Structure 1
Amino acid sequence: MTLLNSDEIILEAQNVAKWFPAQAQRLNLFSDLNLTIHAGQTLAIVGRSGAGKSTLLSLLAGLDQPSEGQIKLVGRSLSDMDDKTRADQRARYISFIFQSFHLLPELTALDNVRLALEIRSDKDADQQARHWLTEVGLADRMQHYPAQLSGGEQQRVAIARAFATRPALLFADEPTGNLDEETGHQIIEQLFDLNAKENTTLILITHDQELAARCQRCVTLHAGQLHETAT
């Protein structure tokens, strides 16, 4: 984990715009968007379906580039980096949890978590993978493949994989979207508990206002702008 002070800005969007070509005119998704996030904060980004929340996540994580403006990760502009350097910065600072789990079906739960660590050349990848699967309650499911796991269990594997790399910044995109209400509640409790233990900066993309209220801050994406709301 790359440790940051709580008063340090970990992520900043400055005058960000994003548009797409659409026949005779362009489609403007964002314009003059600004956001500052300090290390250790929990932030929810909410908005209606189609508002562009997942696109915004891609921009903030350096998976996509803004049409104008810049995204700064720990003070460095992602737009000024080449693809390899951006990928290196993501590997150093960022992890993801997605609605659809994104597990490799041909790998066991253990191998899915271990792979994330082996990519970073962590010497104790196997030990750490086992530790984190135990942390999420899957000590007896390590050798199971994703198809042999329930949706909740697959999301627990994804959580273990995300935290195993000890990220400074964690993006969670609708993490309970494919789960029933009871399972989703259990997953969220586990996510917030682990996040507090690890002092990770959490950016949660959701349409669920109750879930957003669990975060220290909440911003609503509407008509291409972010509006800070009370939690």
Structure 2
Amino acid sequence: MLTPEPRSVLIATDLAKTFPDERGGLNIFNHINIRADAGESVAIIGPSGAGKSTLLSILAGLDEPSEGTIELLGQPLTGLDEASRAELRANHISFVFQSFQLLPELSALDNVQLALEIQGHPNPAQQAGYWLDRVGLSHRHQHTPARLSGGEQQRVAIARAFATEPSLLFADEPTGNLDEKTGTEIIEQLFELNRQLNTTLILITHDASLAQRCQRRLYLHNGTLQEQ
């Protein structure tokens, strides 16, 4: 019996990014190709300034490549207008950032609930509470980010990311602002939830030991991306 081919969640082909400057253009990378299948974890590693976060922004449709194409779940992402890209992101993509990216005036519950409301979830408050409980913050629903520790803020961000049940999760240096012990706990939780939901994970990091947790590792350096 033939084993079915894995479903490709993300396919990027011949990506290039050039920023204009006084000398005619600063080339960040060229001929980048990435494929990530359902449930797969992929680390993109490389030195600071290599363009990892720029690549993430392009893969997520937050920025456009100078050349190349991106498909998300079989749908073309490149060439869409911003409203269409935003709709695809809302329905299929979540993020966990180094800086947490929580709205400071909202409670933990409201930060998670807002993402669900944008997606059109029928019971956003109930679902937001469920996910906060799931990441160990049952006693912090009404706390604003200023009243939470760094680790707790990142747990809210993780709850928000998984509450919408995304097909694809981008994590950009998710432990960068945390101490080692807290960072380890956050990563354990991130990978466990990712496994349970079978989410495709693309992890941006400079931490080689963290990258080893992923099934595949891609090294971005001098404008090229090579599989390790």
> Considering the TM-score relative to the shorter chain, is it more than 0.5?
yes
Q: Which secondary structure does the structure 1 equivalent of 2:156 belong to?
A: helix
Q: Which secondary structure does the structure 2 equivalent of 1:56 belong to?
A: helix
1:22: Cα distance to partner? 1.1
Q: Report the counterpart of residue 164 of structure 1 in structure 2.
A: 163
CA distance in 1, matches of 2:122, 2:24: 52
Aligned residue identity for 1:111:
D
1:6: Cα distance to partner? 7.1
1:77: Cα distance to partner? 1.9
CA distance in 2, matches of 1:70, 1:132: 34
Q: Report the counterpart of residue 150 of structure 2 in structure 1.
A: 151
Q: Report the counterpart of residue 218 of structure 1 in structure 2.
A: 217
Q: Report the counterpart of residue 180 of structure 1 in structure 2.
A: 179
Q: Report the counterpart of residue 136 of structure 2 in structure 1.
A: 137
CA distance in 2, matches of 1:67, 1:179: 34
Q: CA RMSD in A?
A: 1.0
| Matched-pair contact (CA < 8 Å) for 1:47–1:53 | yes
CA distance in 2, matches of 1:88, 1:6: 27
1:195 aligns with 2:194: yes
CA distance in 2, matches of 1:189, 1:126: 26
Q: Report the counterpart of residue 99 of structure 1 in structure 2.
A: 98
CA distance in 1, matches of 2:37, 2:155: 26
Q: Relative to structure 1, is the Cα distance of residues 6 and 135 closer, same or farther in structure 2, using a 3 angstrom cutoff?
A: farther
Q: Report the counterpart of residue 128 of structure 1 in structure 2.
A: 127
1:79: Cα distance to partner? 1.7
Aligned residues: 225
TM-score (norm 1): 0.95
Q: Report the counterpart of residue 113 of structure 1 in structure 2.
A: 112
- Listed one character per residue, the Cα deviations across residues 143-180 of structure 1 (whole Å, up to 9, x for unaligned) are 11100000000000000000000001000000000000
- Listed one character per residue, the Cα deviations across residues 18-47 of structure 1 (whole Å, up to 9, x for unaligned) are 001110221110111111111110000000
Q: Report the counterpart of residue 34 of structure 2 in structure 1.
A: 35
CA distance in 2, matches of 1:83, 1:191: 29
Q: Report the counterpart of residue 74 of structure 1 in structure 2.
A: 73
Aligned residue identity for 2:10:
L
Q: Report the counterpart of residue 21 of structure 1 in structure 2.
A: 20
Structure 2 unaligned segments of length 5 or more: list them: none
CA distance in 2, matches of 1:80, 1:31: 19
Aligned residue identity for 2:41:
T
What is the identity percentage for the equivalent residue pairs of Structure 1 and Structure 2?
A: 62
- Listed one character per residue, the Cα deviations across residues 111-150 of structure 1 (whole Å, up to 9, x for unaligned) are 1101111112211111110100000000001111100000
Q: Which secondary structure does the structure 1 equivalent of 2:183 belong to?
A: helix
Q: Relative to structure 1, is the Cα distance of residues 7 and 211 closer, same or farther in structure 2, using a 3 angstrom cutoff?
A: same
Aligned residue identity for 2:227:
E
TM-score (norm 2): 0.97
| Matched-pair contact (CA < 8 Å) for 1:6–1:39 | no
Q: Report the counterpart of residue 61 of structure 1 in structure 2.
A: 60
Q: Report the counterpart of residue 50 of structure 1 in structure 2.
A: 49
CA distance in 2, matches of 1:80, 1:19: 17
The answer to which of 71-80 and 158-167 deviates more is: 71-80
Aligned residue identity for 2:206:
H
CA distance in 1, matches of 2:29, 2:70: 13
